[in-house]
A and B are shown apart, each in its own frame.
Chain A
Amino acid sequence: MNFGPIFLFLIAAGGVVFVALFLNRMLAPRKPNPEKLSTYECGEEAVGSPWIRFNTRFYVIALIFLVFDVEVLFLFPWAVNLKSLGMFAWIEMAVFIIILSVGLAYVWAKRDLEWIKPDSDEIQAALRQSSQTITDK
């Protein structure tokens, strides 16, 4: 097997990223103001520093999200080739989705889908303090 082209492709892919960033740096006008330098949060105004303790719920939610994210990854090629794969593949995918649904049912029944707000005193204090420093600036 010849892996030369793949290696070249990797180098080229990396190169494109650097060239794009470099050109952007060279060509773009730079006129910073405080509004531009603030963190962009999809239009929401940033309320504080992200360097606080996160609720571990995020981890569980992210994990569940990941499972269904990967599921889609399997579903796309399956959906494209379904006609040539036939009935067996359809049943296989149905089984796969049932297994995942059982997982979701498990998480649901164990109350891991219920969100607990980060309302501990410590986090509230951290939030207050960080918003204070922003208004001070």
Chain B
Amino acid sequence: MNITYNLPAIGTQLVLGAGVILVLLADLLTGKKNRDVAYQTTLTVLVLAGIICVMKWGSAGAGFGGQVFGDGFASFFNLAFLAIAFLVVFNSPNYLKRNEIDHGEYYMLILIAVLGMTFMSSAGDLLIFFLGLETMSISLYVLAGFHKSRARSNESSLKYLLLGAFFTGFLLYGIALIYGQVGSTNLADITSYLAGSANPLGGYMGVGLALLLVGLLFKMAVVPFHFWSPDVYDGAPTPVTAFMSAAPKAAAFAAALRIFYDPAISLGLPWDKTLWIAAALTITLGNFAALAQSSIKRMLAYSSITHAGYLMIGLAAGNELGASGMLYYLFTYGFMNVGAFTIAWLVNRRGEGNYLLSDFAQLGSRNPVMALLMSIFMLSLTGIPPLAGFFGKLYVFSAGVKAGLIWLVVIAVLNSVVSVFYYLRVMVIMYMREEEGLKDLEKAPTVAITAILCGLVILLLGLFPGPLLDLARESVLSLL
């Protein structure tokens, strides 16, 4: 047997895997006193994995007989996952202590989830992708229910688990059918089968690919498979929600690009129509549902559905600009969401499960820095230049125009106008609404640092979008 293992191709994953064990043992040994060791170990592991990822950027090549790729595309997404996880973990202790759920398993589960995502972004084989997806999902199911004594958190976990398991069935059945037709689960083999076949969607192939797409759309929370996400996001502990709304979504889009960017779309298969309709529905439904929310968590949940819809335009366009625009968009979107959710739980004053927009009243005078940062996140989510959210949308929309999806882009732009209302409402509440009996915010340096970091990243990537976009373009080119 001659398999070239090429361990550097999974360098990031190896560090994360070892880190999981290390955090688990560290917490067993020191967890009785406090969580500091587990917390610091987790942050160190994430930084180390990030350093390995940057050092080996795009140069590691294929490993394990083409089952994993350490290419630029994988590196780009891995860095995004690690950065999001770092920011979420960094400000978590404060939240965990406040809600009395300060268990060491939290850190371990986040690391496992990131490990799964890194395998999704670097998978060269459908089975590796599936393993990564399950590793990620199962730890997310547990994280969503991490607030064991709260019914809402349990509800969130149970809904996510049941629906997730159901859609995993679709996905796996799709993979089985593709294997039945091609005789391999390797993406390169599937691509050459599709390219060499006179009737690429004949036999089991069409159904197989469609089922695979359904499984992925569920993870991205795209209409009509979005219904789980508001409840799950609402019930989960808020740092977990921040993590869930940013990283797994990016992982699902990464996998979708790896699987569909080359084999299906560029071959002119009829996905673009399906994706067109899904994108239009997702954007419109997400937007109008977000208008009606009075809870900031639910509003952000629906907003994340809408953003998945915008990202679908890049997928439907299927050209290089669309793909690199999606990479830029996903990278920056993570920072906006983590920042917004973090400020949301700091501002919340009625306890978990009761996040109201009115909690933000007078934040402009109570804590001007936080109010300014929240405004940056909201404006960036709306897509106001010169913030990063604007350029993400710009690239994805122009890719849509280039691919001839004019009406889809028109729908998206009109919806962006609608979205101004609910994003700016938060700012109006922060600066203009008067309310009695408001306390000062709790002092939480880690939260402040997280929010400032997120704000800076969004501002800098908005003012200087060039380098990141070039990097995204290079990463997409490494995909082919």
On whether the beta carbons of B5 and A102 are closer than 8 Å, the reply is no
Pair B21/A1 contact, Cβ less than 8 Å: no
B180 within 8 A of A: yes
Which residue of A has the minimal Cβ distance to B28? A109
Set of chain B residues within 8 Å of A99, measured between Cβ atoms: 21
Which of the residues B1, B24, B180, B183 comes within 8 Å of A106, measured between beta carbons? B24
Chain A, Cβ-Cβ closest to B179: A1
B181 CB within 8 Å of chain A: yes
B1–A84 contact, CB under 8 A?
yes
Q: CB within 8 A of B25: which of A3, A85, A102?
A: A102
A1-B181, A99-B21 are known contacts. Are A88 and B5 too (CB-CB below 8 A)?
yes
How many interface residues does B have (CB within 8 Å)? 9
Main secondary structure of the interface of B (DSSP, over half): helix
Chain B min CB distance to A74 (Å): 14
Contacts of B28 in A (CB 8 A): 105-106, 109
Contacts of A102 in B (CB 8 A): 21, 24-25
Question: A53 CA to B28 CA in the complex, in Å?
Answer: 32
B4 to chain A, nearest CB (A): 11
Give the number of chain A interface residues (Cβ < 8 Å): 11
Q: Which residue of A lies closest to B14 (CB)?
A: A95
* Chain A: minimal CB distance from B434 (Å): 50
Interface hits, B170-199 → A, CB 8 Å: 180-181, 183
Residues of A within 8 A of B24 (CB): 102, 106
Interface string of B21-32 (1 = CB under 8 A from A): 100110010000
- Shortest beta-carbon distance, A72 to chain B, in Å? 20
A1-B25 contact, Cβ under 8 Å, with A84-B1, A85-B1, A88-B5:
no
Which residues on B sit within 8 Å (CB–CB) of A84? 1
Question: Contacts of B180 on A, CB cut-off 8 Å?
Answer: 1, 3
Closest to B29 in A: A109
Interface residues of A in 82-123 (CB under 8 A from B): 84-85, 88, 98-99, 102, 105-106, 109
Chain B residue nearest in CB terms to A99: B21
Interface centre among A84, A102, A105 (most CB of B within 10 A): A102
Q: Tell me, in angstroms, the Cα distance from A105 to B5 when the chains sit together.
A: 30
What 0/1 readout, one digit per residue, does chain B (1-45) give for beta carbons within 8 Å of chain A?
Answer: 100010000000000000001001100100000000000000000
Chain B residues whose C-beta falls within 8 Å of the C-beta of A109 in the assembled complex: 28
CA distance A98 to B24 in the complex (A): 13
Residues of A within 8 A of B5 (CB): 88
User: CA–CA, A106 to B26, complex, Å?
Assistant: 11
Q: Which residues of B contact A106 (CB under 8 A)?
A: 24, 28
A1-34, CB under 8 A of B: which get 1 and which 0? 1010000000000000000000000000000000
**B21 CB contacts on chain A under 8 angstroms:** 98-99, 102
**A1 contacts B1, C-beta separation under 8 Å:** no
Chain B residue, CB-CB nearest to A85: B1
A1 to B25, CA, bound (A): 47
Which residues in chain B, 138-184, are within 8 Å of chain A measured between CB atoms? 180-181, 183
Q: How far is the CA of A109 from the CA of B183 in the complex (A)?
A: 45
**Bound complex: CA A99 to CA B24 (Å):** 11
> CA A54 – CA B43 in complex, angstroms?
41
A89, closest chain B residue (CB)? B1
Closest to A102 in B: B21
Selected A-B contacts with CB under 8 Å, 17 pairs = A1-B180, A1-B181, A1-B183, A3-B180, A84-B1, A85-B1, A88-B5, A98-B21, A99-B21, A102-B21, A102-B24, A102-B25, A105-B25, A105-B28, A106-B24, A106-B28, A109-B28
* Extra A-B contacts (12), CB below 8 Å, given A84-B1, A98-B21, A102-B25: A1-B183, A3-B180, A85-B1, A88-B5, A99-B21, A102-B21, A102-B24, A105-B25, A105-B28, A106-B24, A106-B28, A109-B28
